[in-house]
Chains A and B, each alone.
Chain A
Amino acid sequence: MNWLQKIILLTCLVVFLFSLIKIGGIGFDYVQSEQVMKEIQVQYKGNLQESKAIASENSVRSQFQSLLDINPNIVGWLTIDNTKIDYPILQSSDNNHYLNRNYKEETSKSGSIFMDFRNKSDAQDRQTIIYGHQMKDGSMFGQLDKFLDEDFFSQNKEFQFDTIYESYKVEIFSVYVTTTDFNYIETDFPTDEEYLDFIDVIEEKSKMRTDIQVTEKDNIITLSTCNELQDPEDGRLVLHGKLTKTN
């Protein structure tokens, strides 16, 4: 073996080991994120089963009490059946904080599912916006793109959104892929007209057609994540649903 071959082989070995460690690290991160999330999921589900008493209006519901002890920035919970989405929603005073922090405030690539900082945490705005990473292991909003599949959409038109005060049924009325050039993250609509115009636009953009009527009296929720179909940097997958209070 000449020296050139030795160098190449050595380089290959170094690269191989480096890549292996990196892949292992990524896998470890994914697993760890899932573990951390499991902890709070178990706790929340446990709370749900225990909370028989109906909380009175405008007070923190019992299933959230212990979650708020963990992190008072928890403002709700999002559950979408047939996806991995079953996560606490956090809110900070900006839209960067929870991009790379989990609910324990530990640095995490997956970050958290979080509500736009401009929104009222009790979902009283006309549009409440929730962001989450499109993780490659399908966690966080990684499986939101399932809703682009017509079969999946037709069987999963609703999901549940909880603020710490109220439960909401969400009826999905629009799903599409876009780029950040389209401004869908307004939280404030000063007039009914502006709001209804916006509703028209997002209904028009939707890949799926539904017969759900959204009026100026309805509030909507918007789930937003990255998506590379239209643009690797600024592409977004957006899902809008109408909120209806449930007991």
Chain B
Amino acid sequence: MAIKCNETREKRKSKIPVLALAAVICFQGSNSVLAANSLDESAIAPQEASYGYYVDNYANNNSSNMTPESNPSIGVLSEFHDLWEPGTSWDNGTVLNEDIHNYNIAKSISITENRTDEEAKAAYLIDRRHQNYSAIAGLGPHADNFIAGANAGTTIPDEIPEDATSVGYDDGSNNNGVWADQNSSLGSMVGLIDTIRNSGASTSNAKAYYSYKRPFRWSEDVSVIPTLVPRIKEDPSTDGGFPSGHTNAGYLASYGFAYAVPERYEEIMTRASEMGNSRIVAGMHSPLDVIGGRVMATAVAASALNDPNNKSVKDAAHAQAHEVLLTQEGTSEDNYSDYETNKQNYTERLTYGFEQIGDTTKPMVVPKGAEALIETRFPYLDDAQRRWVLYTTGLPSGYPVLDDTEGWGRLNLFAAAGGYEAFENDVTVSMDAARGGFNEADTWKNDIDGSGKLTKSGTGALTLSGDNSYTGGTLLEEGTLAANSGSAFGEGEVVNTEGTLIENVSNGVTIGNNFTQSEAGTLDLTIGNKEEVLDINGEATFDGTLKLNFTDGFIPDADTPIISYDALAEKSAFSKVEITGLPDNYEVSYDANALYVVDSNSQEEEENESPVVPPSETGDDNNPSKDPVTEPEDDNASATETTKETEETDTVDSTTENEDKKTPAKLEDASKESNNSVKPVTSSSADGDVVENPKTGDDTNIILYVGLLAASAIAAAVVIWQRKFRRR
């Protein structure tokens, strides 16, 4: 048994020297990005390409501009020149980088050879249907409602006609001959996507300029799916492969959907990447074609969203999505419900496994206007902050085609939707919950490093769920900041002045440095097992409110810390403690290195209890709640789920005389006794408690009784036999 007395208790984490509290005073909220710690604003300044800035010149994509300098759609892809020198005709260009070209075609071969029937079918549908229609699938559960509300339609059925191998079917779209109606109840959304698609978005000029063949013309081993063979153009001279037009269109529509429904940003981006990938599956395009299509679409979409003339269109689409589409219950199947799978697929398709051939150390460049792509995703950030998000989530340099001057190729919009990947300087986030949506609550999923500090202000709730290691510290000024991972708060100190700091991680949360909470702050911990400890690797200064919510029927032992710390500031204690999920007689107790919750009434009982076994009244008539949201609870929790509020008037620390009323000190005797009764068996938890491996043998002595039965019968037989023998 692992009850240890306080004095001998070892901290798991190394002690960090205690820092002065004066640091708190230094924190003053600011509503913008503060002075840089390591990088200044020049890092996110746009860089002009030979064609100018894409967002300013996107309208120049027309057939009268056919050079990289005059046509941005050709210019943004001009890194392709390192790999391929276009010829004067469709078949006389020159491969400049054999390795990359050969890998490109080999990848096409392997993807077409390994495609499944299901993938081939999807590739056929994406090829034949209007790309805007195909992109709807990214809306997941809302897709059917969108189709109904926008009167979106296609004449290409889900099941491929049997004669498709000989007949080329075209999409007749809806009953009005368009993919969806602008005068429908979701017409503003349709209007935004149509606007983006009509913003100098054609790949024809770039295709004509680069004249890079489709993969099946490079190698016979690239097999076009049989149902699309009728679609192969007979004249290869006007049928270039780079960049992929379907991919471009799929991404353009998807950026429109993601702008209107940023709640599904990652899923919509994944759908776009799947549409691009389907072109390789179909045998119609190579990976480089698809990459080129994505890069161009990203620049075009940002251009459309930046154009002041489109402001009313995009605002109306976003508003309509939230007032009409998202207010309906989503009913259709979501093929993109798994975040990790989405992330893996999308990330793989950014580079398709190409090696880095250029300088791999160039800093990220954020294109002018690219921040518009995520302005609805992060409505509470300013443009500069959105550019930092794009900066910190960008791809490394050096990949084929992706190193354009402006930086369009290196943008990773899937990652950007998860928030910062680094605090390169101090970041202040002000979220106004009254504005709803992401202003009210948002989650940053990425792993955040960097030397900056995070300041959270405003009434909204921000959740950090990455494995974070930023070192600048965290200041919560207002609203809610929640940890959804053990390292959510990075490695710096955490200060809570007037907000609510929430922990709800089953393995507990670590604060890498000091923790300070002021009078108006609230610390809200949900605890369902003994691992769920708030571990402060520094000095703790407590004030304000502590809320402890015990779930899953968990009742902590007297030696299980709820909060551990290297040191407790003098006279420091929460002024108010609210405990839910435990009987009334539980209260908090501070010692030199941890805060505990102890049962003030039952010291004697505990001396006889195993430390891992909740008190005896938790035993037989458990009645776990099966509510999956709160997770199952024992009735010892639910039945006693009374909120207890204790106004703590006096300050307690390990040296006050109050302590001998509290458990930790008194536990010394109990722990010694109990320790002797521990069996040397099995699982111990991090803080040394032992969980016994249950004895699951069958202790019925059936063999003993059979033996006794036989023995007694034999003994009787011997006696009787002896008697008979003697008589003779």
Residues of A within 8 A of B (CB): 1, 5, 8-9, 11-16, 18-20, 22-23, 26, 29, 58-60, 68, 72-73, 75, 91-97, 99, 105, 109-111, 116, 118, 120-122, 131-136, 141-142, 164-165, 180-188, 190, 217, 224-226, 228, 233-234, 236
Closest B residue by C-beta to A116: B691
**Which of B552, B634, B716 has the largest count of A CB atoms less than 10 A from its CB?**
B716
Closest-CB distance, B254 to chain A (whole angstroms): 26
Q: Report if B694 contacts A (CB, 8 A).
A: yes
Q: Which of A8, A93, A164, A190 contacts B719 (CB 8 A)?
A: A8
CA–CA, A165 and B629, complex, Å: 12
Q: Is the CB of B713 within 8 A of A16?
A: yes
CB neighbors of A among B705-719 (8 A): 705-706, 708-709, 711-713, 715-716, 719
Q: Is the CB of B706 within 8 A of A19?
A: yes
Residues of B contacting A12 in the complex (Cβ-Cβ under 8 angstroms):
712-713, 715-716, 719
Q: Is the CB of A96 within 8 A of B698?
A: no
CB neighbors of A among B536-579 (8 A): 552-553, 555
Q: Report if B686 contacts A (CB, 8 A).
A: yes
Closest B residue by C-beta to A96: B694
Q: Report if B474 contacts A (CB, 8 A).
A: no
Residues of A contacting B711 in the complex (Cβ-Cβ under 8 angstroms):
15
A/B interface sample: 21 pairs, CB < 8 A: A8-B715, A8-B719, A9-B716, A9-B720, A11-B715, A12-B719, A16-B709, A93-B613, A94-B613, A95-B692, A105-B620, A111-B696, A120-B631, A121-B624, A134-B698, A136-B698, A164-B626, A184-B682, A188-B506, A188-B507, A217-B340
CB neighbors of A among B578-632 (8 A): 610, 612-614, 618-624, 626, 628-629, 631-632
Contact A188:B628 (CB < 8 A) given known A19-B708, A234-B681: no
Contact A99:B694 (CB < 8 A) given known A12-B713, A122-B628, A180-B681: yes
CB neighbors of A among B620-648 (8 A): 620-624, 626, 628-629, 631-632, 634, 636
CA–CA, A132 and B693, complex, Å: 11
Q: Report if B697 contacts A (CB, 8 A).
A: yes
Q: Which of B507, B634, B712 contacts A190 (CB 8 A)?
A: B507
Q: Is the CB of A91 within 8 A of B680?
A: no
Residues of A contacting B684 in the complex (Cβ-Cβ under 8 angstroms):
183
Q: Which of B340, B612, B685 contacts A94 (CB 8 A)?
A: B612
CA–CA, A186 and B624, complex, Å: 23
Q: Report if B683 contacts A (CB, 8 A).
A: yes
CA–CA, A91 and B531, complex, Å: 19
Residues of A contacting B507 in the complex (Cβ-Cβ under 8 angstroms):
188, 190
Closest-CB distance, A183 to chain B (whole angstroms): 5
Residues of B contacting A224 in the complex (Cβ-Cβ under 8 angstroms):
693-694, 696
Residues of A contacting B25 in the complex (Cβ-Cβ under 8 angstroms):
none
Q: Is the CB of A183 within 8 A of B696?
A: no
Closest A residue by C-beta to B685: A188
CA–CA, A93 and B551, complex, Å: 12
Q: Which of B553, B634, B686, B702 contacts A136 (CB 8 A)?
A: B702
Interface residue count on the B side (C-beta < 8 Å):
60
CA–CA, A134 and B699, complex, Å: 9
CA–CA, A234 and B692, complex, Å: 11
Other CB < 8 Å A-B pairs besides A93-B622, A94-B612, 20 of them?
A: A9-B720, A12-B719, A23-B702, A26-B700, A26-B702, A58-B629, A72-B622, A72-B624, A91-B632, A93-B614, A99-B695, A110-B698, A116-B691, A120-B506, A180-B682, A187-B683, A188-B529, A226-B696, A234-B681, A236-B696
Q: Is the CB of B696 within 8 A of A132?
A: yes
Q: Which of B612, B624, B698, B705 contacts A142 (CB 8 A)?
A: B698
Q: Which of A19, A20, A181, A190 contacts B680 (CB 8 A)?
A: A181
Closest-CB distance, A176 to chain B (whole angstroms): 15
Q: Which of A105, A120, A225 contacts B696 (CB 8 A)?
A: A225
Interface of B is mostly: loop
Closest-CB distance, A118 to chain B (whole angstroms): 6
Residues of B contacting A228 in the complex (Cβ-Cβ under 8 angstroms):
697
Residues of B contacting A1 in the complex (Cβ-Cβ under 8 angstroms):
723
CA–CA, A52 and B699, complex, Å: 42
Residues of A contacting B693 in the complex (Cβ-Cβ under 8 angstroms):
180, 185, 224, 236
Contact A185:B691 (CB < 8 A) given known A93-B636, A217-B340: yes
Q: Is the CB of A190 within 8 A of B486?
A: yes
CA–CA, A131 and B683, complex, Å: 14
Closest-CB distance, B659 to chain A (whole angstroms): 29
Q: Which of B612, B699, B715 contacts A109 (CB 8 A)?
A: B699
Contact A93:B698 (CB < 8 A) given known A5-B723, A72-B626, A190-B486: no
Residues of A contacting B631 in the complex (Cβ-Cβ under 8 angstroms):
120-122
Closest B residue by C-beta to A5: B719
Residues of B contacting A131 in the complex (Cβ-Cβ under 8 angstroms):
694, 696
Residues of B contacting A109 in the complex (Cβ-Cβ under 8 angstroms):
698-700
CA–CA, A109 and B695, complex, Å: 12
**Which of B613, B622, B700, B713 has the largest count of A CB atoms less than 10 A from its CB?**
B700
Closest A residue by C-beta to B340: A217
Q: Is the CB of B715 within 8 A of A93?
A: no
Residues of B contacting A142 in the complex (Cβ-Cβ under 8 angstroms):
698
Residues of A contacting B699 in the complex (Cβ-Cβ under 8 angstroms):
109
Q: Is the CB of A92 within 8 A of B619?
A: yes
Residues of A contacting B713 in the complex (Cβ-Cβ under 8 angstroms):
12, 16
Residues of B contacting A118 in the complex (Cβ-Cβ under 8 angstroms):
529, 691
Q: Is the CB of A13 within 8 A of B716?
A: yes
Closest-CB distance, A246 to chain B (whole angstroms): 15
CA–CA, A58 and B636, complex, Å: 23
Contact A134:B696 (CB < 8 A) given known A72-B624, A75-B632, A183-B683: yes
Residues of B contacting A23 in the complex (Cβ-Cβ under 8 angstroms):
702, 705-706, 709
CA–CA, A14 and B712, complex, Å: 9
Q: Is the CB of A120 within 8 A of B552?
A: yes
CA–CA, A99 and B694, complex, Å: 8
Closest A residue by C-beta to B700: A26
Q: Is the CB of B624 within 8 A of A95?
A: no
Closest-CB distance, A144 to chain B (whole angstroms): 10
